[in-house]
Amino acid sequence: MNIDTSLLLKLCSAFGPSGHEGGISELIASELRGLADEIYTDALGNLVARRKGAGKRVMLAAHMDSVGLIVTNITEDGFLYCAPVGGVSPFYALSGYVRFESGVRGVIMCGTKTKRAELKLSDMFIDVGARDEKEAAALVNVGDACIIEHEGFIQNGRVFSNFLDDRIGCFVLIEAFKRLKETENDVYFVFTVQEELGLRGARAVSYAIAPDLALSVDVMTAPDTPDSSGHGLVIGGGVGIKVKDGSVITHREVRMKLTDIARECGIKHQLEVAPSGGTDAGAIHVSRAGVKTGGLSVPSRYTHSAGECIDLADAEAAISLLSEFAARQ
């Protein structure tokens, strides 16, 4: 296994809540500029890096955006109220450290009277250290987005970090591009925006690319922790080959191709049959007149928390499988 963990942690710590993917997009583009025949950004901010070929159009997608919060109101006392950007659990958010794109920091808390069991995001506020509305307004505008962040770390071959959803997918795409062999295929490595708000970027970009074949790479929650169902993915159990989730039933042909390659190349894998959750594949497969679409998952724990967790061996398996898939007829 030869994984550039410093790039992975750099991707995870980049600022990029849905709608604010500019910075993370620039970081990814700088990694791929020497490799791609063409790199461009569309109207919504989706980043496309293409290896031109005369063969089939193959689209590989991972989303750049993370969940976050957006300021809707500044109080007279200088506190900020906010709305969620994507699925943010109030329990995960409480007492988190937040950071705005400008670098302004704060904490997210609730009042002393708020009942913890009834905690709602709409009752929580951000304290940026402002003494009043004027001081707060000098630091933050209504409409500014922020992320809840903690420093990530790697221990025992496992990565603990915020935003592995889906910076690990972006990382897998970048590394697979680096390992991509000579191929006839016209391969589009697509880094999408606004997945967390309902697969919005993927919907637009898959129309524009009109792929013959597509694959999305994302995390999928592994219920392999205490007091969880235990029926599903296991972290460290290999890359997940998606059969279904709440947004898609993958195309049999794509699924078979993935499992065949995995067996042939000795890549550790597991089949994923998820009762819920969704990913870009959900939007891509119903684009235009339909696209044969599959999904790869890096099994992860504690999705949308500041301490998401994946196993590096699964990431390595995902990279191997993806680069091989992209090059095959």
Nearest-angstrom CA–CA distance, 8 and 222: 20
Nearest-angstrom CA–CA distance, 160 and 149: 12
Which window, 52-60, 78-86, 223-231, 250-258, contacts other proteins (CB under 8 A)? Answer: 78-86
Shortest Å distance, C-beta 142 to other proteins:
5
Positions annotated as catalytic residues are 195
Nearer to other proteins, 108 or 145 (CB): 145
User: Is there binding between residue 167 and other proteins (CB under 8 A)?
Assistant: no
Dihedral (Cα; 235, 240, 242, 246), 10-degree rounding: 20
- Locus of tokens 């620039």: 26
Whether 307 contacts 248, CB under 8 Å:
no
Tell me, by CB under 8 A, how many residues bind other proteins: 31
CA angle 180, 199, 184 (to 5 degrees): 25
Whether 98 contacts 79, CB under 8 Å:
no
Which window, 24-32, 139-147, 212-220, 231-239, contacts other proteins (CB under 8 A)? Answer: 139-147
User: Is there binding between residue 102 and other proteins (CB under 8 A)?
Assistant: no
The correct pick among 201, 237, 238, 299 for binding other proteins (CB under 8 A) is: 201
Would you call 43 exposed, middle or buried from its count of C-beta atoms within 10 A (0-12, 13-18, 19+)?
A: exposed
Q: Is 301 helix (H, G, I), strand (E, B) or coil?
A: strand
Nearest-angstrom CA–CA distance, 200 and 113: 38
Nearer to other proteins, 194 or 300 (CB): 194
Q: Which amino acid is at 112?
A: T
Binders in 236-265 for other proteins, by CB under 8 A:
none
Q: Is 178 helix (H, G, I), strand (E, B) or coil?
A: helix
Nearer to other proteins, 138 or 273 (CB): 138
The correct pick among 34, 103, 111, 143 for binding other proteins (CB under 8 A) is: 143
Nearer to other proteins, 263 or 288 (CB): 288
Shortest Å distance, C-beta 74 to other proteins:
9
Shortest Å distance, C-beta 208 to other proteins:
4
* Ramachandran category for residue 243: left, alpha or beta (phi over 0 → left; psi -120 to 50 → alpha): alpha
Which window, 52-60, 138-146, 151-159, 232-240, contacts other proteins (CB under 8 A)? Answer: 138-146
Residues in contact with other proteins by the rule CB under 8 A:
18-20, 41-46, 70, 72-73, 75-76, 81, 83-85, 122, 142-143, 145, 194, 197, 200-201, 203-205, 207-208
